[in-house]
Amino acid sequence: MLQTKEKTVAVVTGSRAEYGLLRPVLRKLEASPLLLKLVVTGSHLSDQYGNTVAEIEADGFPICARIPILKYQDKADPIPDTVAYTLVSFAEWFRKERPDLVLVLGDRYEIFAVAQAAAMTGVPIAHISGGDVTLGAADEYYRHCITKMAALHFPSCQESAQRLIRMGEQPERVFQVGGLGDENIRNMPKLTAAELSADLGFDLTVPFGLVTFHPETGMDCADPLDQMKALLGALEDAHTETGLRYLITKSNADQGGASINAVWDEWTSTRRDWSVAVTSLGVKRYLSAMACAAAVIGNSSSGVVETPSFGVPTVNIGERQNGRPICSNVLCVPAERKQILDAIRTCLDPDFRHTASRAVSPYYGPDPSGSIVRVLEKWIGRPELREPKRFYDPI
């Protein structure tokens, strides 16, 4: 065990959902013998996406660097330019700061660029949530590329851990610790429906759906605005039938996300009595809303990864999350109005609600964040983390 904070771990966060998952890891890194250098980038630093760096500041984490990267958002296809700019920006930071290791989570394009910069400047990478599958998003190959650059792996479930080993990763460097989202659900104090209503100025003490919809970004993906038309029609129909209200969290910074958010703004502007759209809830309010919701609706990863721990009925729309384990509380439907409506009806049915309440999450781990930090303490500074990777090829 290190006795002084001589070894440095850089942790990079670029989106609201990712930060919510990293939060317990950051707390335990602060209390560890390792020196935390937190780098904030991406949509955290954008007014358009809620300037969510404010949540990080409110949590009291010292921010080592703020690296803005979303300078090409006015382009029709900003991602290639953003990845290139991120690569250069983070390569400069890694050369200057020389951390002993960088910890990244997930599969977004900005994290893909950060991992490239680390690999090219000789900084070992530890990767959380490798081995997952999401066939409806470009994140699929970003994630696997990060895996092949990373030296340490923290998959969230056994299926993903086995997949990493089949991809050639050394078994002794794959640590199946469980899901950080599941840990947040168990440990974070949550608001009641009444407290959440007062906080948002919108009544959530009656049945409501928690809605999040992102563009699909895989090859030959569907038009997100066409999918939105189907979703909006189904939401309208379900409200007419049942009085269901909607708390909507806006889309992320993927290509097409801004168009989706503009539709949400227009749609809710004429339905203020029973719908509200917010740029970001923050992790505490989001998990509180999920715990209180009659149904979770959309295509966010949280809909299939985190809802089983709550046992909340869920409608997963389209192909964005294809490949993830699907639990008994989740109904998967195409982005078609009637099928979405039918699934919402099922979510409100008492029999299905009973089935959903008994869902068993594959992402359970007793202490995911603590396990990650303990592994980092053990491995950081080892020379083998900087050696060329060897493909694990069992006989």
pLDDT band at 395; cut points 50, 70, 90: low
* pLDDT, tens only, 342-379: 999 999 999 999 999 999 999 999 999 999 999 999 99
Distance between CA atoms of residues 313 and 353, nearest Å: 6
Residue 98 belongs to a domain: yes
36 and 13 in a common domain: yes
pLDDT tens, position by position, 36-90: 999 999 999 999 888 999 999 999 999 999 999 999 988 888 899 999 999 999 9
Residue-wise DSSP of 200-254 = HTS--SS-EEEEE-----STTPPPHHHHHHHHHHHHHHHHHHH--EEEEEPP-SS
Residue with tokens 């029999």: 351
**Residue 52 falls within a domain, yes or no?**
yes
CA distance 347 to 331: 8
Tell me the pLDDT of the chain averaged across its residues.
94
Residue 391 domain-assigned (yes or no): no
Q: Is residue 394 part of a domain?
A: no
Q: Is residue 185 part of a domain?
A: no
Asked if residue 160 lies in contact with residue 134, where contact means CB atoms within 8 angstroms, the answer is: no
Q: Are residues 150 and 227 in the same domain?
A: no
**Co-location of 154 and 31 in the same domain:** yes
For residue range 260-290, list pLDDT tens digits in order. Answer: 999 999 999 999 999 999 998 988 999 999 9
Residue 184 lies inside a defined structural domain of this protein: no
User: How far, in Å, are 33, 84, 186, 284 from residue 69 at the CA level?
Assistant: 31, 10, 34, 26
For 160-197, write each residue's pLDDT tens digit.
Answer: 999 999 999 999 999 999 999 999 999 999 999 999 99
Helix (H, G, I), strand (E, B) or coil at 336: coil
| Cα 319 to Cα 220: distance, rounded to the nearest angstrom | 11
Task: Specify whether 350 is located in the same domain as 369.
Answer: no
CB atoms within 10 A of CB 233: 15
Q: Report whether pLDDT(218) > 80.
A: no
| Average pLDDT value for residue range 109-123 | 97
- The verdict on 202 and 69 lying in the same domain is no
Same domain? 211 vs 268: yes
Residue 1 has pLDDT above 60, yes or no: no
Among 395, 166, 150, 184, residue whose Cα is nearest residue 305 = 184
Tokens 């602060």 belong to 30
Instruction: Give the pLDDT of residue 394.
Output: 80
Shared domain check, 107 and 202:
no
* Nearest C-alpha neighbor of 323 from the set 168, 181, 144: 144
Same domain (yes/no): 102, 228: no
Give domain status of residue 169, yes or no.
Answer: yes
- pTM listed for this prediction: 0.83
Residues 35 and 171 in one domain: yes
**Partners of 295 in the β-ladder:** 209
157 token code pair? 């479930």
Q: What is the pLDDT of residue 140?
A: 87
98 and 202: one domain?
no
What average pLDDT score do residues 140-154 get? 96
230 and 343 co-located in one domain: yes
* Interval 232-251: pLDDT, tens: 999 999 999 999 999 999 99
Do 219 and 320 lie in one domain? The reply is yes
pLDDT at 147 over 50: yes
Structural domains in the chain (count) = 2
For residue 114, the model assigns a pLDDT of 98
CATH classification of the domain holding 254: 3.40.50.2000
294 pLDDT above the threshold of 90: yes
What is the predicted pLDDT for the residue at 221?
75
Q: What would the two tokens of residue 150 be? A: 């990373």
Residue range(s) defining the domain that contains residue 333: 191-357
Phi, psi of 222 (to 5 degrees): -70, 155
